[in-house]
Amino acid sequence: MSQQIGSILKKLVIVGLVAAVTATESAPAQTAPPPNGVATNVVVSGIGMVSTLGNMVFIEIAGYQTGNGYKAGNPSCSTNGPGQWSFVLPLTTTIQQQMLTALLTAHTTGSPVTLVGNGMCDTYSTVETLTNIIF
């Protein structure tokens, strides 16, 4: 009787191990999302447009200091420093055109905003692409 129980327990352990290995192998690999820049409660100090670069605008923010709460977590591709462009906004969709209007209003009035990037420099090679504006 005890041999039968031992045999059953061995089979259960083997089935459990096979199930665990199978579940581990079939589970998709988890990758960390790219870091994205978040500029909290900042003033838009400049907006630049360059006709030779394409349909995009560059945004400069006052108090750009990486990692201290003004613009924290920007991706490694975003190599501009203080006094340079913090984000770039492509102007290819209606919502992006509306975002430009909101940025111009914030710039004109000096209203603080929070800007969030996508964690990539896919619009311009050294500036993070802007995805969110929060008032």
pLDDT at 39: 86
Question: The domain 38-134: what is its CATH number?
Answer: 2.40.50
Residue 109 tokens read as 């009035």
pTM beyond 0.85? no
Q: Return the number of other C-beta atoms located less than 10 Å from residue 10's C-beta.
A: 10
Query: Average pLDDT in the 61-70 region?
Result: 57
The domain segmentation of the chain, as residue ranges, is: 38-134
Give residue 88's pLDDT band: very low, low, confident or very high (50, 70, 90): very high
Query: Which is more confident, 92 or 79?
Result: 92
pLDDT at 30: 56
| Backbone phi, psi, residue 107, to 5° | -65, -45
CA–CA gap between residue 124 and residue 55 (Å, rounded)? 11
Give residue 63's pLDDT band: very low, low, confident or very high (50, 70, 90): low
Give residue 67's pLDDT band: very low, low, confident or very high (50, 70, 90): very low
Give residue 34's pLDDT band: very low, low, confident or very high (50, 70, 90): low
DSSP class of residue 68 equals: T
Amino acid at 72: A
Nearest to 55 by CA among 121, 86, 85, 100: 100
Amino acid at 20: A
Radius of gyration of the chain, Cα coordinates, nearest whole angstrom: 25
Place of tokens 């006094």: 83
